[in-house]
């Protein structure tokens, strides 16, 4: 009986491992595509990624896997780990199965084409180059929503891929809260004496920026024997196994802020990937809980820790030593304030923590409309520019700093953006909790000792993989569901220090 169970479970594991191997091979090809691949390699790479996607889909929607999952689900003698893996795999299976293999290959091929069109459009600063590819992509995503099926809104079907259970019905009130609660804080900040962050635009040589980033990442606990950092057009984190996690960054020599916190941010993602249980490679318990939780890990490091005064008590003297000329006249406190300057701006990835959520809200509104069909790609640039004017009071001077700034839609990732806001809100709630759980945390941070903090994240979040949903995890860690008021309190406290509001 037990033998029988173990045999079944092991047959299931073999299939899952095969699927994971193919998907991780795709991830290697994707990483190379955005870091080292020469331009003429794009077409063949598109083919190769599409073929691999088709193969993974074949394995992960095979009748054999279905049979195994149904047999295993009916059993009552499985271990807790086995039960959870099977339960989650069956969920995935039923969702995957809804997409025909042809569709998945087409989508993957279109993703590669669309990404390359986005690169070209960005280089030539012309949304028109990207629009035809994006139109096809939106068409495919609308089709995907229909194939998945949904109750209330087609967007729900797509967003669920990134954040299990998230819906327009849940997101609309969250973004309504942002529209309501952030403007008064922003108004107070605008009325206060402004912060000077102009020194970030001094000349910071590439190699030294890189070196300092690596030093911070080492101190955060990133294992460089199980990962690395490279350059790419748009910073991202990908993983081929917890023992091989890849981060990327980009450097602007005349805008240091662009790289520094992006490094810390991606490193937060990377630490999560390195902290996932390696013995569950290929199984759901070896995967991250959700994109929202993933983002909570990058943001708790980037914003709560990495933009905190205590963090810079330790790191600022080191930074000054790296850039003695550039930072000679800047105190640690002035640096901390500059790191938290609030100013409505054009580019999401360079936005401050507060106005950031307007950037997300705009994208959320736009992609919801694209998917429901109430907005067409040809009107996207105008819509974008109009919303930026409305919420942030700025208008993009060109497409590169406007509608072409993000890679996500070129990847076909519709429903992804809201996870950034969810991640921020989870991060604020976790950060409140960790300060209770580790009373000496800030003193540790101020001496550059980040080990206990990482250990807390490892135990509370990383090690569980996908065992709990975002909501369950949040309740286990903080005793309550996601509550955006944690973020509001965190923001008010921070801007009190920065702006005296």
Asked if 218 is part of the footprint of a second copy (rule: CB under 8 A), the reply reads: no
Cα of first residue to Cα of last residue in the chain, in angstroms, is 67
Asked if 479 is part of the footprint of a second copy (rule: CB under 8 A), the reply reads: no
Residues 342, 344, 348: CA angle, nearest 5 degrees:
95
Coil vs helix vs strand at 99: coil
Quick one: which of 113, 197, 244, 302 contacts a second copy (CB under 8 A)? 244
Asked if 398 is part of the footprint of a second copy (rule: CB under 8 A), the reply reads: no
Asked if 28 is part of the footprint of a second copy (rule: CB under 8 A), the reply reads: yes
Q: How far is CA 390 from each of CA 342, 385, 396, 403, rounded to the nearest angstrom?
A: 17, 9, 12, 15
Residue number with CB closer to a second copy (44 or 169): 44
Q: Burial-class residue 3 by CB neighbours within 10 Å (0-12, 13-18, 19+).
A: exposed
The two structure tokens encoding residue 399: 């497409």
Residue number with CB closer to a second copy (31 or 162): 31
Instruction: Please name the residues in contact with 326: beta carbons below 8 A apart, sequence gap of 6 or more.
Output: 199, 202, 203, 204
Beta-bridge partner residues of 247 = 229, 237
Minimum distance, C-beta of residue 233 to a second copy, in the bound complex (Å): 16
Contact predicate 295/276, CB 8 Å: no
**For the CA atoms of the chain, what is the radius of gyration?**
23
Asked if 120 is part of the footprint of a second copy (rule: CB under 8 A), the reply reads: no
Asked if 25 is part of the footprint of a second copy (rule: CB under 8 A), the reply reads: yes
Asked if 458 is part of the footprint of a second copy (rule: CB under 8 A), the reply reads: no
Quick one: which of 99, 192, 226, 394 contacts a second copy (CB under 8 A)? 226
Contact predicate 137/113, CB 8 Å: no
Asked if 170 is part of the footprint of a second copy (rule: CB under 8 A), the reply reads: no
Q: What's the farthest any 2 CA atoms get from each other in the chain?
A: 74
Report the alpha-carbon distance of residue 49 to residue 364 in Å, rounded: 28
Asked if 317 is part of the footprint of a second copy (rule: CB under 8 A), the reply reads: no
Asked if 233 is part of the footprint of a second copy (rule: CB under 8 A), the reply reads: no
Report the alpha-carbon distance of residue 29 to residue 21 in Å, rounded: 12
Report the alpha-carbon distance of residue 501 to residue 483 in Å, rounded: 23
SS (H, E, C) 312-347: HHHHHHHHHHHCCCCCCCCCHHHHHHHHCCCCCCCC
The two structure tokens encoding residue 199: 């020194």
Minimum distance, C-beta of residue 113 to a second copy, in the bound complex (Å): 15
Residue number with CB closer to a second copy (21 or 333): 21
Per-residue binding letters, 250-289, with a second copy (x by CB under 8 A): -------------------------------x--------
Asked if 40 is part of the footprint of a second copy (rule: CB under 8 A), the reply reads: yes
Beta-bridge partner residues of 246 = 228, 238
Question: Which among 206-214, 221-229, 352-360, 369-377 is the span making contact with a second copy, rule CB under 8 A?
Answer: 221-229
Residue number with CB closer to a second copy (55 or 220): 55
Asked if 185 is part of the footprint of a second copy (rule: CB under 8 A), the reply reads: no
Quick one: which of 227, 292, 306, 418 contacts a second copy (CB under 8 A)? 227
Asked if 151 is part of the footprint of a second copy (rule: CB under 8 A), the reply reads: no
Asked if 101 is part of the footprint of a second copy (rule: CB under 8 A), the reply reads: no
Minimum distance, C-beta of residue 27 to a second copy, in the bound complex (Å): 10
Residue number with CB closer to a second copy (45 or 143): 45
Asked if 228 is part of the footprint of a second copy (rule: CB under 8 A), the reply reads: yes
Report the alpha-carbon distance of residue 144 to residue 40 in Å, rounded: 30
Minimum distance, C-beta of residue 108 to a second copy, in the bound complex (Å): 11
Asked if 22 is part of the footprint of a second copy (rule: CB under 8 A), the reply reads: yes
105 is catalytic: no
Catalytic residue among 34, 113, 163, 266: 266
Among positions 48-87, residues that touch a second copy (CB under 8 A) are 48, 50-52, 55
Report the alpha-carbon distance of residue 301 to residue 450 in Å, rounded: 10
Catalytic residues: 266
Q: Which residues bind a second copy (CB under 8 A)?
A: 17-18, 21-22, 24-26, 28-29, 31-32, 36-41, 43-45, 47-48, 50-52, 55, 223-228, 230, 240-241, 243-244, 281
């Amino acid at each position: 009986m037990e033998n029988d169970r173990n045999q079944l479970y092991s047959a299931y594991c073999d299939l899952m491992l095969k699927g994971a191997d193919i998907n991780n091979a795709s991830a290697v090809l994707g990483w190379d595509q955005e870091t080292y691949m020469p331009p003429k390699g794009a077409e063949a790479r598109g083919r190769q990624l599409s073929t691999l996607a088709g193969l993974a889909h074949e394995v992960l929607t095979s009748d054999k896997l279905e049979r195994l999952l149904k047999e295993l689900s009916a059993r009552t003698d499985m271990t807790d780990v086995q039960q959870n893996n099977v339960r989650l795999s069956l969920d995935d299976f039923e969702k995957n199965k809804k997409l025909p293999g042809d569709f998945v290959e087409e989508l993957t091929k279109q993703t590669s084409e669309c990404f390359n069109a986005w690169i070209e459009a960005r280089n030539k600063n012309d949304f028109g180059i990207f629009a035809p590819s994006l139109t096809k992509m939106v068409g495919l995503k609308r089709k995907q929503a229909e194939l998945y099926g949904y109750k209330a809104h087609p967007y729900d079907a797509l967003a669920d891929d990134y954040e299990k259970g998230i819906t327009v019905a849940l997101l609309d009130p969250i973004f309504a809260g942002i529209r309501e609660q952030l403007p008064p804080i922003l108004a107070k900040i605008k009325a206060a004496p402004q912060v000077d962050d102009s020194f970030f635009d001094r000349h910071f040589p590439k190699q030294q920026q890189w070196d300092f980033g690596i030093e911070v990442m080492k101190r955060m606990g990133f294992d460089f024997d199980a990962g690395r950092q490279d350059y790419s057009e748009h910073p991202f984190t990908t993983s081929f196994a917890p023992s091989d996690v890849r981060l990327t960054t980009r450097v602007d020599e005349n805008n240091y802020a662009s790289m520094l916190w992006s490094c810390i941010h991606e490193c937060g993602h990377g630490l999560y990937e390195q902290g996932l249980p390696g013995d569950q490679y290929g199984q759901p318990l070896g995967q991250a809980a959700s994109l929202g939780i993933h983002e909570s890990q990058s943001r708790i490091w980037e914003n709560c820790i990495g933009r905190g005064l205590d963090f810079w008590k330790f790191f600022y003297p080191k930074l000054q030593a790296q850039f003695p000329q550039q930072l000679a006249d800047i105190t640690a406190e002035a640096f901390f304030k500059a790191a938290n300057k609030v100013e409505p701006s054009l580019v999401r990835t360079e936005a401050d923590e507060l106005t950031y959520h307007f950037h997300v809200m705009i994208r959320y509104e736009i992609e919801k409309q694209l998917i429901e069909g109430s907005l067409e790609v040809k009107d996207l640039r105008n819509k974008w520019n109009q919303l930026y004017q409305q919420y942030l009071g700025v208008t993009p001077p060109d497409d590169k700093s406007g509608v072409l700034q993000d890679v996500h839609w070129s990847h076909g990732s519709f429903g992804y953006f809201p996870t950034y806001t969810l991640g921020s809100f989870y991060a604020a709630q976790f950060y409140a909790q960790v300060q209770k759980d580790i009373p000496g945390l800030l003193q540790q941070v101020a001496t550059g000792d980040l080990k206990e903090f990482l250990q807390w994240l490892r135990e509370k979040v990383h090690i569980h993989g996908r065992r709990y949903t975002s909501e369950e995890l949040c309740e286990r860690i903080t005793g309550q569901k996601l509550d955006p008021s944690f973020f509001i309190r965190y923001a008010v406290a921070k801007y009190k220090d920065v702006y005296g509001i």
